[in-house]
């Protein structure tokens, strides 16, 4: 195989040499020869090339020899040429050898250069690699510096993104370098720096929010006041909207057109970007739970700073209270807005806990400072601030139950102060009253008094209509004294000021409590300060003053019905039935006490007059005129009817008269029954009967009495006794025991024992026999005195008419004054 290969190479070289020899030109000859020499030199084929040249030369010599043998001359010529070629060949060979050595030297130099080139390319690659590494490291360092630059510019989120890009992208490209390890170790510290920087900004934001909370609350309060005003205007224009409360669905729908952003308006703007950035960064750092806990702790500390240790409620404008509640409102609104603008960041329980804590602290402060308030107007301002606070926070869906309870505490204090003030007013009115009918000088004064008093003037007797102020003759008097309209004014003012407490805000629970409190306090004021004060004045010895007190009590009793209607119509809460003041029956009882006091004074005067009676029961002289005491007595009765009792209703006047006549009858009956009188002469009996007859005639002639016949019933027993005395004086005393007379009821009101005693005294006998002539009931006695007729009653049973019976008798005729 090696020999075959060498032979192939020799043939190839021989063919190449022959091809070169056959070149048409010298340039072609050289162009083909030089590559052949270079290849022979580079491939260590010089010797084969020489052999090939020799072989060609030998072939040429043989060919020349053959040609020479054929043609000698030509051969000689060819030999010469061949020699010339040989010489050229030697020269060419020498040149080829020289060229070969030259090529070999060039090849060695080229190899050295190539080696130098290869070496330079490695260095360059190393330089390029080092350059790229430097570039990568510089980029990492640039990004690291950029993170700190962004931190310096407070672009925290961009800094965090750049740090994340540095850690997850660029550091991975230089992990084989030490710088990557150094920067990788610094990433947590840089993240902590970012978190610390963003928390610093958040704390600054929280501080500004805390400082802005009060102003935010003030704006919220103002917005609530505007809503109140709009709702009031809507209620005035549409009665159906009048019952809608603030924050009710109806009010919210009606107020939809008035959009107002509490957190972003011309007065205040709250930017939540720092919170969002901080939340997003901590979320990216995986520290959301820690941030949530830190934020909650910070807000709790801010809440504690929001509430002062003490609260001054004595400020006329309630500025301290307003500042406190405005701050709480702003703080709570921020919390609600934070919940709405974030997801699962602020827990509802945390916000409610903060709210409850702030409310409880405010309630404690306010409650502990309430004792310093002694002015009801100041409490009304305090209530207004609290009510505004409640309505504002209710619109943010906060629980206001505890604040409602606080309002009730404030109302209790407010109503107590009102009651104290009006109690003093009532006491002063009652103590300074002149207890005289109230004079009216002109129609304007009359109209003003009627506008404030619970009083309806009696209708005109001719027209049956209420008289017009301009038709009255002035000056005139009203039946009540000046205290009555003054108390009526105070009652109206008291009711108005109580309901002022619920004007701005009152739940149904509040309304019910306010209504009940108003009713109870009105009862207390009327019973304690009016009725008791008037009852204390009943100790007076002046009947005119007692009569005026009775008149006032009568009008107060009538006013109670109007007050009940007024309370019922003013109630906000539904009621289950009619409203009844405790003062109404108390006034009725006070009227009875006043009537009894009048009875006492009148009866006392009657007793004094009857004590002046000087009967000579054994006299034999028949008087021609009635006794002086009975004249004084009837004159007294006439005077009090026309003066002292003039202003009383006829029913009351007649009742007083009736009671006085009963008392007179009892005292007159006691005169002849005095145990010290053993016997009564007929002349003395005539004098006694004459005096009683004068009294009866006086009563029958009373023009001021509404029903004189009813008044005469108070003298029924006395008249029958006088009739019996007359019979006894005529010697007809047996008629008292006649069954027919008894059946007719002639002496039905005379007690049997007292009748027998009188018969014994007048007739001067210890025993009285039966029988005798009958005397008709209802006729005249022998002494000219009209007898009392009436129904049949059992003997021995004393018939009398009570005050209740008297009221029933006169009730059917109505009140005439």
Give the closest residue to 491 by CA, choosing from 413, 416, 563, 565. 563
| pLDDT reported for residue 808 | 52
| pLDDT reported for residue 247 | 63
Assess whether pLDDT exceeds 80 at residue 607. yes
Q: Which two tokens stand for residue 153?
A: 């510019």
Query: pLDDT exceeding 90 applies to what percent of the chain?
Result: 13
Higher pLDDT, 532 or 802: 532
- The answer to whether residues 215 and 334 touch, using CB atoms and an 8 Å cutoff, is no
Distance CA 460, CA 546 (A): 28
Q: What tens digit of pLDDT does each residue of 699-724 get?
A: 888 765 556 677 788 888 888 888 88
Alpha carbons within 13 angstroms on the beta-carbon side of residue 68 total 14
Band (490; pLDDT cuts 50, 70, 90): very high
| pLDDT reported for residue 174 | 64
Give the closest residue to 221 by CA, choosing from 82, 107, 329. 329
- The answer to whether residues 708 and 660 touch, using CB atoms and an 8 Å cutoff, is no
Q: Which two tokens stand for residue 779?
A: 């006729």
Report, as an integer, the average pLDDT of 449-461.
85
Assess whether pLDDT exceeds 70 at residue 413. yes
| pLDDT reported for residue 703 | 63
Q: What tens digit of pLDDT does each residue of 93-110 get?
A: 787 888 777 887 888 888
| pLDDT reported for residue 4 | 43
| pLDDT reported for residue 559 | 92
Per-residue exposure over 230-254, b if at least 16 CB sit within 10 Å of its own CB, e if not? bbeebeeeeeebeebebbeeebeeb
Higher pLDDT, 436 or 242: 436
Q: What tens digit of pLDDT does each residue of 287-300 get?
A: 888 888 888 888 88
Band (178; pLDDT cuts 50, 70, 90): low
Q: Specify burial of residue 108 (Cβ count, 10 A radius: 0-12, 13-18, 19+).
A: exposed
| pLDDT reported for residue 809 | 45
Of 54-63, 320-329, 494-503, the range with the lowest mean pLDDT is 54-63
Higher pLDDT, 298 or 92: 298
Assess whether pLDDT exceeds 50 at residue 29. yes
Most confident range, picked from 4-13, 224-233, 469-478: 469-478
Q: Specify burial of residue 563 (Cβ count, 10 A radius: 0-12, 13-18, 19+).
A: buried
Q: What tens digit of pLDDT does each residue of 304-332 get?
A: 888 888 888 887 777 888 899 999 999 99
Question: Long-range contacts of range 48-56, CB-CB < 8 Å, 24 or more positions apart?
Answer: 48/6, 48/9, 48/10, 48/13, 49/13, 49/17, 49/96, 50/93, 51/10, 51/13, 52/10, 52/13, 52/14, 52/16, 52/17, 53/17, 53/89, 53/93, 55/10, 55/14, 56/14, 56/17, 56/18, 56/21
Report, as an integer, the average pLDDT of 488-510.
80
| pLDDT reported for residue 115 | 82
Task: Tell me which DSSP letter residue 285 carries.
Answer: T
Distance CA 16, CA 38 (A): 13
Band (248; pLDDT cuts 50, 70, 90): low
Band (176; pLDDT cuts 50, 70, 90): low
Of 246-250, 477-481, 625-629, 750-754, the range with the lowest mean pLDDT is 246-250
Assess whether pLDDT exceeds 90 at residue 485. yes
Query: pLDDT exceeding 70 applies to what percent of the chain?
Result: 78
Alpha carbons within 13 angstroms on the beta-carbon side of residue 350 total 18
Report, as an integer, the average pLDDT of 687-698.
89
Report, as an integer, the average pLDDT of 212-239.
81
| pLDDT reported for residue 790 | 37
Assess whether pLDDT exceeds 60 at residue 242. no
| pLDDT reported for residue 106 | 81
Distance CA 100, CA 86 (A): 20
Band (484; pLDDT cuts 50, 70, 90): very high
Per-residue exposure over 134-170, b if at least 16 CB sit within 10 Å of its own CB, e if not? eebbeebeebbebbeebbeeeebbebbebbeebbeeb
Q: What tens digit of pLDDT does each residue of 760-799 get?
A: 888 643 333 333 332 223 334 433 444 443 333 333 333 3
Band (357; pLDDT cuts 50, 70, 90): very high
| pLDDT reported for residue 360 | 93
Q: Mean pLDDT for the chain?
A: 78
Most confident range, picked from 308-317, 379-388, 495-504: 379-388
| Collapsed DSSP state (helix, strand, coil) of residue 394 | helix
| pLDDT reported for residue 786 | 42
Q: Which two tokens stand for residue 718?
A: 């006395």
Higher pLDDT, 460 or 353: 353
Q: Phi and psi at residue 285, in whole multiples of 5°?
A: -85, -5
Distance CA 76, CA 349 (A): 132
Q: What tens digit of pLDDT does each residue of 466-475 get?
A: 888 888 888 8
| pLDDT reported for residue 279 | 83
Assess whether pLDDT exceeds 80 at residue 350. yes
Band (423; pLDDT cuts 50, 70, 90): very high
Report helix angle 273-284 to 178-237, nearest 10.
140
Distance CA 553, CA 18 (A): 167
Residues linked to residue 786 through DSSP beta bridges, in sequence order: 780
- The answer to whether residues 406 and 363 touch, using CB atoms and an 8 Å cutoff, is yes
Report, as an integer, the average pLDDT of 631-645.
85
């Amino acid at each position: 195989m090696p020999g075959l290969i060498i032979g192939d190479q020799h043939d190839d070289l021989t063919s190449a040499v022959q091809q070169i020899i056959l070149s048409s030109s010298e340039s072609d000859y050289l162009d083909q020869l030089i590559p052949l020499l270079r290849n022979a030199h580079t491939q260590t084929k010089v010797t084969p090339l020489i052999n090939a040249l020799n072989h060609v030369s030998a072939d040429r010599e043989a060919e020349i020899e053959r040609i020479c043998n054929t043609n000698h001359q030509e051969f000689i010529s060819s030999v010469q040429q061949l020699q010339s070629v040989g010489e050229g060949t030697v020269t060419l060979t020498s040149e080829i050898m020289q060229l070969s050595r030259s090529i070999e030297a060039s090849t060695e130099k080229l190899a050295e250069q190539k080696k130098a080139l290869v070496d330079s390319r490695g260095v360059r690659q190393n330089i390029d690699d080092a350059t790229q590494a430097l570039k990568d490291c510089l980029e990492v360092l640039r990004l690291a510096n950029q993170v700190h630059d962004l931190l310096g510019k407070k672009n925290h989120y961009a800094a965090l993104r750049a740090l994340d890009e540095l850690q997850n992208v660029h550091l991975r490209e230089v992990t084989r370098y030490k710088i990557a390890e150094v920067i990788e170790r610094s990433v947590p510290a840089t993240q902590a720096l970012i978190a610390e920087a963003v928390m610093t900004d958040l704390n600054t934001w929280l501080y500004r929010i805390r400082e802005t909370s009060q102003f935010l609350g003030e704006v919220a309060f103002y917005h609530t006041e505007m809503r109140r005003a709009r709702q009031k205007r809507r209620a005035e224009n549409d009665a159906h909207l009048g019952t809608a409360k603030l924050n009710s669905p109806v009010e919210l729908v009606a107020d939809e057109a008035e959009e107002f952003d509490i957190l972003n308006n011309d007065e205040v703007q709250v930017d939540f970007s720092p919170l969002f950035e901080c939340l997003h960064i901590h979320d990216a750092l995986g520290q959301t739970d820690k941030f949530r806990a830190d934020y909650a702790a910070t807000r709790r500390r801010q809440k504690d700073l929001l509430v002062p240790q003490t609260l001054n409620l004595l400020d006329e404008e309630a500025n301290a209270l307003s500042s406190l509640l405005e701050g709480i409102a702003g703080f709570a609104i921020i919390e609600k807005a934070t919940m709405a603008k974030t997801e699962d960041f602020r827990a509802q329980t945390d916000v409610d806990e903060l709210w409850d804590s702030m409310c409880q602290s405010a309630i404690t402060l306010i409650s502990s400072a309430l004792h310093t308030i002694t002015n009801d107007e100041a409490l009304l301002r305090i209530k207004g601030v609290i009510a505004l606070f409640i309505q504002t926070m209710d619109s943010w869906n906060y629980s206001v139950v505890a604040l409602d309870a606080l309002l009730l505490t404030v109302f209790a204090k407010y109503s107590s102060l009102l009651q104290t003030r009006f109690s003093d007013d009532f006491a002063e009115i009652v103590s300074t009253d002149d207890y005289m009918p109230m004079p009216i000088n002109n129609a304007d004064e009359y109209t003003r008094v009627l506008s404030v008093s619970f009083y309806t003037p009696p209708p005109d007797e001719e027209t049956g209509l209420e008289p017009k102020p301009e038709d009255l003759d002035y000056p005139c008097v009203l039946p009540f004294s000046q205290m009555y309209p003054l108390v009526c004014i105070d009652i109206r003012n008291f009711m108005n000021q109580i309901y002022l407490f619920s004007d701005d805000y009152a739940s149904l629970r509040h309304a019910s409590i306010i209504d009940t409190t108003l009713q109870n306090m009105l009862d207390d004021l009327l019973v304690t300060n009016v009725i008791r004060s008037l009852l204390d004045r009943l100790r007076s010895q002046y009947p005119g003053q007692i009569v005026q007190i009775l008149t006032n009590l009568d009008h107060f009793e009538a006013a109670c019905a109007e007050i009940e209607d007024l309370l019922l119509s003013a109630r906000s809460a539904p009621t289950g039935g009619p409203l009844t003041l405790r003062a109404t029956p108390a006034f009725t009882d006070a009227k009875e006490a006043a009537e009894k006091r009048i009875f006492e004074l009148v009866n006392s005067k009657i007793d004094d007059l009857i004590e002046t009676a000087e009967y000579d029961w054994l006299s034999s002289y028949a008087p021609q005129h009635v006794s002086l005491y009975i004249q004084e007595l009837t004159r007294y009765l006439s005077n009090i009817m026309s003066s002292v009792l003039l202003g009383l209703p006829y029913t009351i006047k007649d009742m007083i008269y009736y009671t006085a006549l009963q008392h007179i009858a009892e005292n007159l009956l006691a005169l002849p029954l005095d145990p010290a009188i053993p016997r009564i002469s007929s002349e003395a009996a005539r004098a006694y009967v004459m005096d009683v007859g004068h009294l009866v005639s006086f009563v029958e002639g009373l023009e001021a009495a509404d029903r004189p016949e009813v008044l005469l019933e108070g003298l029924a027993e006395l008249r029958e006794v006088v009739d019996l005395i007359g019979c006894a004086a005529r010697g007809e005393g047996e008629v008292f025991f006649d069954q027919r007379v008894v059946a007719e009821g002639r002496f039905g009101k005379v007690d049997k024992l007292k009748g027998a005693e009188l018969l014994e005294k007048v007739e001067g006998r210890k025993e009285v026999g039966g029988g005798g002539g009958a005397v008709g009931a209802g006729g005249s006695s022998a002494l000219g005195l009209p007898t009392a007729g009436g129904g049949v009653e059992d003997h021995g049973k004393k018939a009398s008419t009570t005050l209740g019976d008297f009221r029933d008798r006169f009730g059917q005729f109505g009140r005439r004054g």
